[in-house]
Amino acid sequence: MATTATAAKKHADKPAKDTAGTDKKGVIKQFQEHGKDTGSSKVQVAILTHRIESLSEHLQSHKKDKHSRRGLIGLVGKRRRLLRHLQLNDPASYTAVIKELGLRK
């Protein structure tokens, strides 16, 4: 029992790893509609956009990383579906999100 407590203590000081390398909480605060809004379509699109930008930057210097490229394609597809959902159900939010993120021209 002492070993599991020691192992848990060892990792308690480490912050959670942000896979995109961006400030996820900052992105959520910027796009949330109310204090507890962390999963709305607008917030999800913003988080995905930052992850996509980070992964694209990674692929510029690691051109042969095919696994990350496949992940990037999946993220882009997921963001596209969320944007389509926003466009159909909340056109005002859709235009605000794409304008703020600079997605469409």
Cβ neighbours of residue 72 closer than 8 Å, sequence gap 6 or more: 52, 55, 56, 59
* Domains in the chain: boundaries: 22-101
Structure-token match 């159909």, residue found: 88
pLDDT in tens, 41-85: 999 999 999 999 999 999 999 999 999 999 999 999 999 999 999
For 15, which DSSP code? P
Distance CA 52, CA 40 (A): 18
In this structure, which CATH number among 2.60.40.420, 3.40.50.2030, 1.10.287.10, 3.40.50.300 belongs to the domain 22-101? 1.10.287.10
**Residue 5 pLDDT grade (very low, low, confident, very high; cuts 50, 70, 90):** low
